[in-house]
């Protein structure tokens, strides 16, 4: 008997690859079964013997959908003068060695730039990818030309999610501009992601800190207070409520923001939220080291005080936070502290690496003690982002007909995270020395084994662009308050 309604009789067809005897994490639960692959697609799931050219013994192992890292930055244009340490070659290699088979980085438009040209350039940069990728758009200059001409073309090409910034010079939108993009998102059924920090708070606090010669790295946290993140989150939610369109708050860092989102969700608003490893496994003390090493953990929003971490976990456990991404934003430590002893908190490039360590860190911390079931682990790291960004069911699930994107995990393998063992091109990891239990040992992308026995087997350039569907049914009619 097939355990999941496989379409064909696997005994009757010669498959390319069979993964045999593992514990397979299906949406309905973890079951002991086999997975058969043909032509890059999952062709059969079932306990019956499978005829295949190659077979992988997964006894004692977990078979998960390949991870979808739905928030990472690769080879973005230099920002505040610093270049990304990872391009698509090194970034996607690192991703697949950490059990991922798809990523969604950002094609980022800044003031004065053409969004169309930025996306065309980004397609070129992505040609080195090892695994499949989609693009989120960043709209930093929502001119009429961009919103009425460039954006509709890009939507047709499969770019159906947009990140908007409420802070950062060259990227931030005012409320009027924010509303204009929300309206277009509603019309086309797009997902709007929001970097929610109050820009005036950051500038006002930074000026005062600098005037008092408070330049050490620990003041980065003071300049990006949780209350400013909460205010911007509330504002984004309120504006999206006005336009009646869904939004997703990215990289949520603090307990009060989780509360704000929980309140909105309790009111039935379509508000989604993401958090990242740095808010579970790092804290403000990791920036306040008294020396320059704290720069290794400088990102925005910053990791908060350690006492904040339980609330972040609670947000994951109760479903307020339903996406767990890396926000891999790779700057070398040497670039972060380029000014040496004169390094000032507001000049350190924001962002930390984590594309390879995202899944093992969460798995180790939460799956062994049962805090997160395997199904929930897969949902928040892979399936929910695939749904929210229009890639499901091609990606994000083990199901007949889906791409054969899988990660085989040894749940007992113990590792100490060391930068020299990772595959990114960044000169550090903020998780150096942390012990984890559980690591992906084999990664399969569209039926091809791209990582096995700790060795990457992939070739750069095999990754394909993934056009995304529209995540929400487009609603051409404006809301009642707009038509009245």
Q: Which residue from 186, 251, 423, 446 is in contact with ligand URP, where contact means CB under 6 A?
A: 251
Q: What is the CA radius of gyration of the chain?
A: 22
CB 111 within 8 A of CB 140: yes
User: What's the CA gap between 373 and 27, in Å, rounded?
Assistant: 11
User: What's the CA gap between 295 and 79, in Å, rounded?
Assistant: 17
Residues 376-395 touching Zn ion, rule: CB under 5 A, are none
Strand 67-69 to 161-165 pairing: unpaired
User: What's the CA gap between 344 and 330, in Å, rounded?
Assistant: 19
Number of H helices, E strands in the chain: 16, 19
Closest residue by Cα to residue 360 from 383, 381, 331: 381
Beta pairing partners, 137: 107, 162
CA 344 from centroid of its chain's CA atoms = 29
Matching residue, tokens 């998960």: 64
Could you tell me the two tokens for 123? 């397609």
The 14-53 site mask, x for binding ligand URP (CB under 6 A), equals ----------------------------------------
Matching residue, tokens 């088979």: 101
Is residue 188 at the binding interface for Zn ion, with CB under 5 A as the rule? no
Q: State the nearest-atom distance from the C-beta of 109 to ligand URP, in Å.
A: 14
Is residue 125 at the binding interface for Zn ion, with CB under 5 A as the rule? no
CB 36 within 8 A of CB 72: no
The Cα-based distances of 254 to 258, 261, 273, 281 in angstroms read 6, 11, 12, 13
User: What's the CA gap between 315 and 336, in Å, rounded?
Assistant: 31
Is residue 69 at the binding interface for Zn ion, with CB under 5 A as the rule? no
Nearer to ligand URP, 231 or 327 (CB): 327
Is residue 350 at the binding interface for ligand URP, with CB under 6 A as the rule? yes
The 82-111 site mask, x for binding Zn ion (CB under 5 A), equals ------------------------------
Q: Which residue from 89, 130, 186, 195 is in contact with Zn ion, where contact means CB under 5 A?
A: 195
Is residue 424 at the binding interface for ligand URP, with CB under 6 A as the rule? no
**Quick one: which segment of 61-69, 168-176, 191-199, 352-360 binds Zn ion (CB under 5 A)?**
191-199
Q: Which residue from 6, 68, 73, 356 is in contact with ligand URP, where contact means CB under 6 A?
A: 73
Is residue 351 at the binding interface for ligand URP, with CB under 6 A as the rule? yes
Matching residue, tokens 């309905």: 28
Is residue 300 at the binding interface for ligand URP, with CB under 6 A as the rule? yes
Is residue 332 at the binding interface for ligand URP, with CB under 6 A as the rule? no
Is residue 194 at the binding interface for ligand URP, with CB under 6 A as the rule? no
Q: State the nearest-atom distance from the C-beta of 275 to ligand URP, in Å.
A: 12
Is residue 100 at the binding interface for ligand URP, with CB under 6 A as the rule? no
Residue 350's binding partner out of Zn ion, ligand URP, none, with CB under 5 to 8 Å set by partner kind: ligand URP
Is residue 327 at the binding interface for Zn ion, with CB under 5 A as the rule? yes
What residues line the site for ligand URP (CB under 6 A)? 73, 195, 251, 299-300, 327, 329, 350-351
What residues line the site for Zn ion (CB under 5 A)? 195, 327
């Amino acid at each position: 008997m097939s355990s999941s309604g496989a379409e064909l009789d696997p005994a009757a067809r010669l498959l390319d690859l069979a993964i045999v005897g593992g514990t397979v994490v299906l949406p309905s639960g973890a079951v002991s079964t086999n997975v058969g692959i043909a032509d890059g697609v999952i062709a059969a799931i079932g306990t019956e013997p499978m005829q295949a050219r190659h077979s992988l013994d997964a006894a004692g192992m977990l078979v998960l959908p390949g991870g979808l890292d739905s928030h990472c930055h690769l080879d973005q244009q230099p920002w505040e003068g610093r270049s990304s340490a990872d391009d698509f070659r090194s970034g996607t290699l690192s991703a697949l060695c950490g059990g991922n088979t798809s990523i969604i980085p950002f094609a980022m438009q800044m003031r004065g730039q053409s969004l169309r040209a930025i996306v065309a350039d980004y397609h070129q940069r992505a040609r080195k990818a090892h695994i499949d990728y989609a693009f989120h758009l960043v709209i930093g200059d929502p001119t009429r030309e961009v919103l009425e001409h460039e954006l509709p073309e890009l939507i047709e090409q499969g770019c159906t999610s947009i990140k908007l910034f409420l802070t950062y010079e060259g990227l931030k939108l005012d409320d009027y501009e924010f509303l204009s993009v929300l309206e277009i998102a509603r019309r086309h059924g797009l997902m709007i992601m929001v970097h929610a920090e109050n820009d005036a708070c950051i500038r006002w606090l930074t000026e005062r800190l600098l005037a008092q010669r408070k330049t050490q790295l620990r003041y980065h946290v003071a300049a990006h207070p949780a209350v400013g993140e909460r205010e911007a989150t509330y504002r984004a939610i309120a504006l999206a409520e006005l336009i009646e369109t869904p939004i997703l708050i990215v990289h949520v860092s603090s307990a009060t923001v989780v509360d704000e989102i929980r309140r909105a969700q309790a009111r039935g608003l379509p508000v989604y939220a993401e958090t990242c490893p740095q808010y579970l496994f790092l804290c403000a003390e990791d920036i306040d080291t008294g020396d320059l090493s704290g720069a290794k953990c400088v990102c925005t929003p910053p990791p908060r005080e350690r006492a904040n971490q339980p609330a972040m976990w609670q947000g994951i456990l109760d479903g307020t936070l339903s996406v767990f991404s890396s926000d891999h934003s790779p700057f070398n430590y040497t670039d972060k502290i380029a000014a040496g002893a004169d390094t000032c908190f507001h000049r350190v490039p924001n962002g930390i690496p984590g594309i390879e360590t995202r899944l093992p860190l969460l798995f180790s911390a939460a799956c062994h003690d049962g805090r997160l079931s395997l199904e929930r682990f897969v949902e928040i790291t892979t399936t929910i982002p695939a749904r929210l960004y229009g890639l499901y069911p091609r990606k994000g699930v083990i199901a007949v007909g889906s791409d054969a994107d899988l990660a085989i995990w040894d749940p007992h393998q113990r590792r100490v995270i060391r930068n020299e063992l990772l595959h990114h091109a960044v000169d550090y990891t903020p998780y150096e020395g942390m012990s984890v239990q559980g690591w992906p040992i084999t990664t399969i992308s569209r039926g091809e084994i791209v990582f096995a026995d700790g060795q990457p087997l992939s070739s750069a350039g095999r990754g394909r662009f993934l056009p995304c569907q529209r995540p929400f049914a487009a609603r051409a009619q404006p809301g009642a308050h707009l038509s009245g």
